[in-house]
Structure 1
Amino acid sequence: MQTKKKHFGSKFWPSFWRELSNDGLGLTALILLISLFLLIFFGQFFVPSNIGSMSDIMNSNLPPMTNGHILGTTDSGADFILTLIASAKNSLIIGFGVATLVTLISIVFGMVIGYFGGWADWISMRLIDFWLVMPLVMILAIIFSTAKGLSIWNLILILAALSWPANVRLVRTLTLSEVNRDYVQAAKISGTPWYKILFSGILPNISSTIISDYALTLAGSIGIESGLTFLGFGLKAGTSSLGSMLTVLNGSASTIYVRWWLWVPVTLILIILTFGFVVLGQIVRRSVDQRQSLD
């Protein structure tokens, strides 16, 4: 009688929970991320649709615990916590959007050129080498200053279009390390189509590194967006993000030391997001490696 093959989760999740239970840092990161996601999800029901463009001068810059505002209000008069929720949501959308697009591009492009090699691989690598030495920060600054601010989706497309080369190089290197292995050669001899070899054979064996790279790209994309918006580039006016909330640090020293509530919560959320995604990405990578070793 043929044994039924177990699905991915039957081996991955036990490995994941075992790794997580033995990693106090990872467990802390998971709890912080879940708490933050729940706050963002349920907080959305209380966030006004015009919170990014709100203008209430009479209630602007209120200190904490004033008129029912736990952390006070922003300079536009909006509740600080609700603004923080909307900003975190937008930054997460940008981070996940950029990381997903970059990872898809790197998987398809990197695996194809690594598998086939030849002149296509040589030309692609020269293009990537040229792209990697370009001053991308300056290019982003020029694009954003010319566009006078971008929507969330346009920002995702631009960041993804400029961020893929390093990820493609990584996947191409991983693919090169697999193409000469016995299972790939056996699949070629048996007449298996190249796309099945790539996506059914090679991809599962390099997936752990790709997952870890996805987590790093996700955390990095949130940081890039926050940095660009903080410098005055990036999202258009009226769109809340963690970077736009940190612009209060451009003010006087009294803003930094006296009105700490305007930037400390934003900084903590940025730390939780970047720290949490990177740590969990490493745990997922180890879990996938364990699952593959049991196959």
Structure 2
Amino acid sequence: MSDFFRDLWRILWADKSALVGAILIVCYGLVAIFGPMFVHLRTFGQQDGTYLPPSSKHLLGTDTLGQDILAEIIVGTRPIMEVGLLAATITTFVGVVIGLVTGYQGGWVDVVVMRIVDIALTIPGLPLIIVIAAVIHSSNPFVLAAILSVTGWAGLARAVRSQAISLRTMDFMAAARIQGLPLHNIVGRQLLPNVGPYVAIHFLLGITGAIYAEVGLFLLGVAPLSGTNWGIMINLAMSQGALYTSKSMLYLLAPMASIVVLQVAFVFFSRALDSLFNPRLRVQ
């Protein structure tokens, strides 16, 4: 494990953009964990407290209710990243388990499950997510994560299955079968480490896709507009005429910029994982 982190640090130090991405991800994580403890949303309750321009007291100004926009960005970081991580975890877990088990087992199990995967791949993901979210209409992070993962696992399952099929003919797999190892040991300890690099990168990029989809649900008003997160901020800014008046423009641009910076950070950091798992890509 120490060698892993030492190699990762060496790659990050050589690739400055990946290092910047890692630093940004850590900063977002710290804000999500500790930010709400130190920042609290306040409503001024005065007409002259709305749409204040940036100042030393309000670095990004205030919104139509007189709330500090920067404080809303900080408070809204946790629910966005929480759902993104949960959705990526569910998608990755389901896709990896199905892909490894079907790829190793083969036979009728593989045929039946892959037909289900094919059906899931043909279903338009975003319209289905919108319909399910509208019907359930829940802001619970676990429920939202499950909704966002409803079809996202299928592509990963097929890709992991292909790798499992190529691995099951290897000598170490034959040795595992001769020893009579149970299925969970073969899948978890023999196959999984060999597909780990691909899974790690897919998990990282899965967070970005989940965050985009989550923000989209709040922007469309499909998910309940309760609490504070970046999607709700964009929705409220649009409903308050952000496209037609410069007064609320910062209220619209601030959450959008937060999303873009986070996505860029994940993409940059994924380059470090690529180099870590594929030495031929490492920066000399």
TM-score class normalised by the smaller sequence:
0.7 to 0.9
Distance across 2 between alignment mates of 1:156 and 1:134: 18
Q: Deviations over 1:8-28 (max 9, x none)?
A: x12211211121111121012
Q: Contact (CA 8 Å) 2:242, 2:249: kept in 1 or not?
A: no
Give me the identity figure in percent.
28
**CA drift at 1:44:** 1.5
Specify whether residues 57 and 121 from structure 1 end up closer, same or farther in structure 2 by C-alpha distance, changes over 3 A only: farther
Which residue of 226, 240, 246 maps to 1:238?
A: 226
Which residue of 49, 57, 64 maps to 2:54?
A: 64
Mapped pair 1:32 → 2:24: yes
159-168 vs 171-180, which moves further: 159-168
Q: Contact (CA 8 Å) 1:56, 1:78: kept in 2 or not?
A: no
Unaligned runs of 5+ in 2: 280-284
| 1:218 paired residue number | 207
Distance across 2 between alignment mates of 1:146 and 1:271: 29
Distance across 2 between alignment mates of 1:111 and 1:60: 55
Mapped pair 1:22 → 2:14: yes
Distance across 2 between alignment mates of 1:272 and 1:87: 15
Distance across 2 between alignment mates of 1:95 and 1:56: 34
Matches within 5 A, 1:90-105: 90-105=79-94
Q: Contact (CA 8 Å) 2:133, 2:147: kept in 1 or not?
A: no
| 2:250 paired residue number | 261
Distance across 2 between alignment mates of 1:33 and 1:40: 10
| 1:119 paired residue number | 108
Q: Contact (CA 8 Å) 1:149, 1:233: kept in 2 or not?
A: no
Specify whether residues 254 and 221 from structure 1 end up closer, same or farther in structure 2 by C-alpha distance, changes over 3 A only: same
Q: Deviations over 1:95-146 (max 9, x none)?
A: 0011111111122222111110111111111111111111222222222233
Distance across 1 between alignment mates of 2:214 and 2:120: 20
- Structure 1 length-normalised TM: 0.84
| 1:10 paired residue number | 2
Letter in 2 for 1:182: D
- Structure 2 length-normalised TM: 0.87
Could you say what the CA RMSD is over the residues aligned between the two structures, in angstroms? 2.3
Specify whether residues 187 and 80 from structure 1 end up closer, same or farther in structure 2 by C-alpha distance, changes over 3 A only: same
| 1:43 paired residue number | 35
**CA drift at 1:233:** 1.6
Distance across 2 between alignment mates of 1:55 and 1:99: 38
**CA drift at 1:285:** 4.0
